[in-house]
Amino acid sequence: MAAEGRVRSQRVWGFVLIAALLVLWEVSARTWVSSNNWPPISRIVVAGAQALAAGELPQVFGSSLWRMLAGYAAGAGLGVLVGVLMGRFRLVNAALDTLVELVRPIPIPAIVPPLILLLGIDATMKIFIVAFASFFPVLVNTIAGVRSVDRVSLDVARTFHVSPARTLWRVVLPASMPFIMVGLRTSLALALIVTVIAEMIAGSEGIGYYLMTMQYAMRSGEMYAAILLLALMGYLLNLCMLGVERRVLHWFQRGS
């Protein structure tokens, strides 16, 4: 109960800080800064409400969200699979480790030009970029989790002739799951960021394209409204992932 109270108190203070920053934003836009480039929050709320009512924001957020989730599911799923294989089998790790370490540091914007040449600028290219970005955090955390499994537990499973598949399900995955979930949560935030970047660089729809369009059209109210809604979406996605993490860890710990 005390821990829950502390968490609730921290969350309240977090919202108080956000409210204070919004008030400061409103005051600064009306007194110190040009309201054309830095509109007050009240004007942003009105512009955002109008864009929501007109269907602009639901459309752009919906198109970005499905691309993000498709790329995230592909990249994160492959990251878990390859991570388990690299963590469990030395031969697989020896074959793939150099390639992974060679490709992993490549900045996301650097792979956009060749992907445009190969895939065009449609949804496939953006999904691939999101999958590429989502893959590596999950991969690295999964490898670390698999390698952290207690050797005694593995030896006991081997002594009792537990099958490799059952050992993986009953021993390796439950012990690795905290690491895997951290990687999944990190990748989810990265997937959202990369989706917007890809749409800014080579997009004809979505949040990133909408932000650039509003900037060029000098519609700063709609632009800032989209940014604030983007922050809210990221926060809600993280809350959802935390809920999934608690349920998954509880389920694996109970079943192990």
Q: What is the pLDDT of residues 143-160, one digit of tens each?
A: 999 999 888 888 787 887
Task: Centre a 10 Å sphere on the Cβ of residue 102 and count the other Cβ atoms it contains.
Answer: 9
The pLDDT of residue 46: 95
Give this prediction's pTM.
0.88
The pLDDT of residue 251: 75
CB 168, CB 88: distance < 8 Å: yes
Tell me the C-alpha distance between 198 and 112, whole Å.
8
Tell me the C-alpha distance between 122 and 107, whole Å.
21
Query: Tell me: the pLDDT tens digits for 4-14?
Result: 666 677 778 88
DSSP 8-state secondary structure symbol assigned to residue 89 = -
CA nearest neighbour of 212 among 56, 221, 203, 1: 203
Indicate whether 40 pLDDT > 90: yes
Structure tokens at 125: 């290219």
Query: Tell me: the pLDDT tens digits for 86-138?
Result: 999 999 999 999 999 999 999 988 998 899 899 888 889 999 999 999 999 99
The pLDDT of residue 15: 87
What mean pLDDT, rounded, does the chain reach?
89
